[in-house]
Amino acid sequence: MQRMKMGTLAAAVLVVAFAARGWAAGPVCSNPQSPRNIDPKAVPSPYDGKSTTSIVKLLGPDSIEYTPRAGGAPTTLYRCGQHYHLPIENPEGCASTAPATRAKSAKAGDGAKPGDWIEVHTVYAAKVRHDGCDPETLACCETAPFLVRAFSAKVTAQGADTPIVVPPGRPLAEWSGSTTGAALPDECKPAAQWSFRLGCDFTLSEAQVRHFRHADPARPVQSGPRVSKDLTLVTP
């Protein structure tokens, strides 16, 4: 019994220490979690390294080649879904992307309006379902590895009604993390690789965003032992 009390006390001390350092509450998961701070100008920097090589190679409009940064054979992945979050999930240091008052109070299901900043996630998987599953969820993403290509953009009243694609080019923030979406604070989400196109000047028209049935809420930023140690800034 005394040993159990000491173990409980030690665990409590660790929780307090984590909180004091600003770490997210919740258990350490079997895989790192997302979202996370990806601001390249933050001090201290959240990045663990830099590279000129991305883990993603575009093969076509709906397929990519994923090569693990740690090494290994490349895998062809196929687009299995696309959705957006309001407010944004992964802060990249753009002053204009701070959640607006309306976005802070937006309920799940509210659509974005001109002036809102949203974060678009295009998801890929090794095997995709084609049985009427919902492409605005992860239901069509059948087989790992999963990879999310993401970016943030301001919604505008004017603009063409064209398919939403990830802006080309660099810089990119890439890391090992998890899927996101609405979650309990302590939840451990399934593993996913991330390739996030950094940039503060991207826009999407209201007509483009209107094709989504709803906006997904933002999961809190993860930190401390719940995030990976491979956040990489990919430059030209």
Q: Is 156 helix (H, G, I), strand (E, B) or coil?
A: strand
Under 8 Å between Cβ of 35 and 231: no
Q: Of the given ranges (12-21, 44-53, 198-207), which has the lowest mean pLDDT?
A: 12-21
Q: For a pLDDT cut of 90, what percent of the chain falls above it?
A: 79
For the stretch 202-235, pLDDT in tens is 999 999 999 999 999 999 999 999 999 999 999 9
Q: What is the pLDDT of residue 18?
A: 36
Q: Domain coordinates of the chain in residue numbers?
A: 30-234
Under 8 Å between Cβ of 203 and 156: yes
Under 8 Å between Cβ of 215 and 103: no
Q: Which residue has the higher pLDDT, 105 or 163?
A: 163
Residue 112 in this model has a pLDDT that exceeds 50: yes
Compute the average pLDDT of residues 137-161: 97
Q: How many CA atoms lie within 13 A of 115 on its CB side?
A: 4
Q: Which residue has the higher pLDDT, 3 or 87?
A: 87
Residue 185 in this model has a pLDDT that exceeds 90: no
Residue 52 in this model has a pLDDT that exceeds 80: yes
Q: Of the given ranges (8-12, 76-80, 90-94, 165-169), which has the lowest mean pLDDT?
A: 8-12
Compute the average pLDDT of residues 80-87: 97
Q: How many CA atoms lie within 13 A of 217 on its CB side?
A: 11
Q: What is the pLDDT of residue 117?
A: 96
Residue 40 in this model has a pLDDT that exceeds 80: yes
Mean pLDDT of the chain: 87
Q: Which residue has the higher pLDDT, 83 or 6?
A: 83
Compute the average pLDDT of residues 141-158: 98
Measured between alpha carbons, how far is 115 from 157 in angstroms, rounded to an integer? 8
| Per-residue confidence band for 186, with pLDDT thresholds at 50, 70 and 90 | confident
Compute the average pLDDT of residues 22-28: 60
Q: What is the pLDDT of residue 184?
A: 81
Residue 164 in this model has a pLDDT that exceeds 80: yes
Q: What is the pLDDT of residue 233?
A: 98
- Separation of CA 154 from chain center: 17
Please tell me the class of the 30-234 domain: alpha beta
